[in-house]
């Protein structure tokens, strides 16, 4: 009670910092629970569950970028020691120049884990392959192959933007219809295939093979 007879205001408890080990355990529990829910018959969620692996890889790449830059400036050897791999392997997988030889968009490298949804949208749009897809990425010049149809920047930014798309709907709304379809994994792949098929030259109709002596002298059959 205060001197005026009013109850004393409650003191707010200081926020208790959550250790990363607790975060790790929590994420693992959620992931296992998610897997059980999908296994219980939700086949439509299977693709979303599989995409989590690419999101973890992309998030790790941004976390490494933050550790390399900013006030920390950890070396590749220090990062590799924590990952249990060699310096060269860590740099090839999480560096700004992946094993493919292409360079990650500087906006991702410089922002690291502090990247905004608006920046993700810009990078996603700049590196979008298009419909039909060009032979090289319009944003970085990465040459597509039969097995790799997305540049490293696009492959990194897509899962992150998909998960965070609701944080800045105004920025996401700037994407085109084809870009939005690609973000959600819709039928854009079939659109590209149909577009490529339409540009291919059509073959002339096969000539009929005569089945009798009479057909061989019939101009309608042999012409």
Residues 85-118 have pLDDT tens digits of 999 999 888 887 766 667 889 999 889 999 999 9
Question: Which CA distances in Å does 74 have to 56, 79, 96, 108, 113?
Answer: 21, 7, 15, 18, 15
Average pLDDT rounded to a whole number, residues 55-74: 89
Is 9 within the bounds of a domain?
no
Task: Please tell me the pTM assigned to this model.
Answer: 0.66
Is 80 within the bounds of a domain?
yes
Is 136 within the bounds of a domain?
yes
Listed in sequence order, the residues at least 6 apart from 132 whose beta carbon sits closer than 8 Å to its beta carbon are 191, 192, 195, 196, 199
Is 31 within the bounds of a domain?
no
Is 16 within the bounds of a domain?
no
Domain count, the chain: 1
Q: At what angle do helices 87-94 and 46-68 cross, to 10 degrees?
A: 120
Residues 168-216 have pLDDT tens digits of 999 999 999 999 999 998 865 555 555 545 545 555 555 555 555 444 4
Is 83 within the bounds of a domain?
yes
Provide the residue range defining the domain that includes 73. Answer: 39-199
Is 94 within the bounds of a domain?
yes
């Amino acid at each position: 009670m205060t001197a005026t007879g009013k109850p004393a205001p409650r003191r707010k408890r200081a926020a208790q910092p959550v250790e990363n080990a607790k975060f790790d355990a929590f994420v693992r529990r959620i992931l296992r629970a998610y897997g059980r829910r999908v296994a219980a018959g939700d086949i439509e969620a299977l693709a979303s569950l599989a995409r989590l692996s690419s999101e973890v890889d992309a998030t790790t790449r941004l976390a490494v970028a933050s550790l390399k830059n900013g006030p920390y400036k950890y070396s590749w050897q220090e990062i590799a020691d924590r990952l249990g791999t060699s310096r060269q392997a860590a740099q090839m997988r999480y560096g700004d120049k992946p094993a493919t030889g292409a360079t990650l968009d500087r906006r991702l490298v410089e922002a690291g884990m502090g990247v905004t949804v608006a920046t993700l949208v810009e990078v996603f749009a700049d590196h979008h392959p298009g419909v039909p897809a060009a032979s090289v990425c319009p944003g970085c010049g990465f040459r597509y192959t039969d097995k790799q149809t997305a540049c490293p920047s696009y492959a990194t930014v897509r899962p992150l933007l998909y998960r965070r798309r609701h944080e800045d709907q105004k920025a996401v709304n700037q994407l085109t219809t084809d870009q939005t379809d690609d973000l959600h994994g819709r039928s854009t792949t079939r659109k590209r295939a149909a577009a490529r098929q339409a540009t291919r030259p059509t073959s002339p109709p096969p000539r009929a093979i005569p089945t009798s002596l009479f057909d061989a002298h019939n101009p309608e059959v042999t012409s």
